[in-house]
Amino acid sequence: MPAPRLRTTPLPGIGVQYELTTRRHDTLSVIAHRDRNRTLNVHHDDDPDSAGLSLVLTGAEALSLADALLPSHNNPNLLHTSDFGLIAEQVTITGTSYWNGRTLGETRMRTETGASIVAVMRRSHAIPSPGPDFRLHGGDVIIVIGTREGVDGAHEILERG
């Protein structure tokens, strides 16, 4: 069986559409909108306007779906697991986040969860070991390390709306 092909189509003003035709001749398409939302469609024939299923997903929902499609050891948010039971994951601060403009110390991350923020990726550069006075901004990618429970707690804190 030949390898599946993913067809890419630019959608001016909207984003990009990705289409995959399955071995059963169903077409799965994902429209990656410019606002980071995704629309997932399933077509059962050659007419792309006759979607049998159409779901609109937020960026976070799309990432969760991608995590479900790939085992957690391939999860792009999961950076490392060690024999000591510590893991590192990424958490993105959105522009509408409660933490946008607040300091790292205000999160009380280590006190509340035992997890540590070891770096912040901002635009194209890393800020290692940010202190409690470090101000978070929308788009920052936070690197958190701790136990599974601690990192889950960090997600709950940092994803506060």
Whether 155 has a pLDDT exceeding 60, the answer reads: yes
The Cα–Cα gap between 132 and 19 comes to 45
**Cα–Cα distances in Å, from 79 out to 38, 74, 82, 149?**
24, 9, 10, 16
Does residue 93 contact residue 139 with C-beta atoms inside 8 Å? yes
The Cα–Cα gap between 113 and 101 comes to 21
C-alpha torsion 35→123→77→115, nearest 10: -120
Confidence (pLDDT) at 132: 95
Q: What is the mean pLDDT of residues 34-56?
A: 73
pLDDT tens digit string along 55-95?
Answer: 777 777 777 777 666 655 444 554 545 556 788 888 889 88
SS3 96: coil
